[in-house]
Amino acid sequence: MLGGEDDAPLLGRRDAGRRAAEIAAAAQAHLDENQCLAVAADQVDLATAHPEITHHDAQAVALQMACRPVFGFAAAGGGGIVGFCSHAQTMTESMTQECAALYVVPTPLGNLADLTRRAEEILRSVPWVAAEDTRHSGPLLKQLGARARTLPAHQHNENEAAARIVEKLQAGESVALISDAGTPGISDPGARIVAAVREAGGRVVPLPGPCAATTALSASGLLDEHFLFYGFLPAKSGQRRQALEALSDIPAALVFYEAPHRVLDTVADLASVFGQRTLVIGRELTKLFETIHSLPLPEALDWLKADPNRQRGEFVLMLSGASGEADSGEGERVLKLLLADGLPTKQAAKLAASITGASKNALYDLALSLKG
């Protein structure tokens, strides 16, 4: 195990954090194809991690390093020691390559203290950080004392970025992928990069951490057993309403992301499509003006309009699911009234669903059976 007293002469202190961090963060709970072995953070002696090991030093270091029967072997690349193998073997260039990884690293939504220790260690230890906006992420990396070089990986260059990242990994250099805030790939660039790395047979290591959707949901108080994360709705109202219609029967809480300049329009559309449901508005989460407000959807627009501050910042909108709160009896009662008033079946079912929050499809089926 690295950091044992026997290894001390080989292991300097200068770059201890950087080396040990990637080892710790590379830990996995299982042996993977390449037999990179889990190494828990507490198994690594941070103070005795290896000094600067360059790509070219790797083989030399391997010659010195004792290969032990169980943890026998550490692979080192430009990005540091990144994995252990379960059998005695000398370090080779190919092993270096096998153990480099793409780390998917969530970053804070607003409160810097939300960066996990593991994320911090990875960002400090990898040689490359692929960032959605390198200027935006610069201060964070600087504050951490990260010496990684950055490469841009945004919406408009994701394919090229993916190719560059695959090259880095093939050269044995690990890459941390970050977005401006939250988890990469969640309504953010990243999915294509991850797909390309996986396609190329590379190792992808996800780190848990900040995500606006789960952060908001955890404090929503919505009782739905399930949730559907939708992310951003279409910007144009017609398309947005169409998208919402398609969701109207789903028996799960619906989670949307929204920008401040569209929040009123979106809430207006939510109200017109879903009618009587509960809306929870999560705004500026983890920041100074964090707000989490729950209210009946029909009242939401007025509530937002009542104070312009309520329309500022970043939003997660969470809606209770179909049938989540209106019992089918109420849906049936309203449906019967509307049918008795002469409304066509489809329209009556839609309106009754909208008014009561009951399932549109269930009400439509009921309407058909009532008609006979």
Rg (C-alpha) for the chain, rounded Å, is: 26
State the sign of the Cα–Cα–Cα–Cα dihedral 307, 311, 314, 320. Answer: positive
282 part of the interface to ligand SAM, by CB under 6 A: yes
185 vs 202, which CB is nearer to ligand SAM? Answer: 185
What is the residue type of 41?
A
Among 27, 53, 211, 339, binds ligand SAM (CB under 6 A): 211
- Among 187, 237, 294, 311, the residue binding ligand SAM under the rule CB under 6 A is 187
The window from 45-53, 174-182, 291-299, 346-354 that contacts ligand SAM (CB under 6 A) reads 174-182
Residue nearest to ligand SAM (CB): 182
Contact 152, 103 (CB under 8 A): no
Q: Binding segment for ligand SAM among 15-23, 145-153, 309-317, 319-327 (CB under 6 A)?
A: 309-317
How far are the Cα atoms of 209, 228, 292 from residue 215, in angstroms, in the given order? 10, 14, 11
Single out the segment in contact with ligand SAM by CB under 6 A; choices: 5-13, 14-22, 23-31, 179-187: 179-187
Give the count of alpha carbons within 13 A of 51, CB side only. Answer: 7
Residue from 110, 172, 202, 321 touching ligand SAM (CB under 6 A): that is 110
Piece of the chain touching ligand SAM by CB under 6 A; list 89-97, 193-201, 218-226, 285-293: 285-293
User: Does residue 183 interact with ligand SAM by CB under 6 A?
Assistant: yes
Evaluate whether 338 touches 304 at the Cβ level (below 8 Å). Answer: no
Q: Which of 58, 148, 181, 196 binds ligand SAM (CB under 6 A)?
A: 181
Q: Is residue 213 part of the contact set for ligand SAM (CB under 6 A)? A: yes
Q: Look up residue 350 and give its two tokens.
A: 């839609």
- Please identify which residue in 22, 120, 158, 258 interacts with ligand SAM, judged by CB under 6 A: 258
Piece in contact with ligand SAM (CB under 6 A), picked from 60-68, 156-164, 177-185, 298-306: 177-185
- Cβ distance to ligand SAM smaller for residue 174 or 183: 183
Alpha helix segments (H runs only) across the chain: 16-25, 58-64, 93-99, 117-125, 134-144, 158-170, 191-199, 212-218, 237-247, 263-274, 297-305, 328-340, 345-356, 360-371
Which listed residue (11, 25, 186, 270) binds ligand SAM by CB under 6 A?
A: 186
Query: Could you tell me which of 218, 333, 224 has the C-alpha nearest to residue 282?
Result: 218
Closest CA to 314 of 170, 203, 181, 205: 181
Q: Is 188 in the site for ligand SAM (CB under 6 A)?
A: yes
285's CB contacts (< 8 A; 6+ apart) are: 109, 110, 212, 215, 216, 292, 314, 316
DSSP notation for 315-344: EEEEEPPTTSSS-HHHHHHHHHHHHHTT--
List CB contacts of 202: < 8 A, sequence separation 6 or more: 100, 101, 102, 166, 169, 170
If the CB atoms of residues 257 and 364 are measured against ligand SAM, the closer one turns out to be: 257
Residue 152 found at the interface with ligand SAM (CB under 6 A) = no
Quote the DSSP letter at residue 295.
Answer: E
* 209 binds ligand SAM, rule: CB under 6 A: no
Could you say whether residue 158 binds ligand SAM (CB under 6 A)?
Answer: no
Q: CB under 6 A: which stretch of 164-172, 278-286, 342-350, 351-359 binds ligand SAM?
A: 278-286
Options 285, 292, 348, 353; binder of ligand SAM; rule CB under 6 A: 285
- Position among 78, 182, 331, 357 found at the interface with ligand SAM (CB under 6 A): 182
Residues forming contacts to ligand SAM in the complex (CB under 6 A) are: 109-110, 179, 181-183, 186-188, 211-213, 257-259, 282-287, 314-316
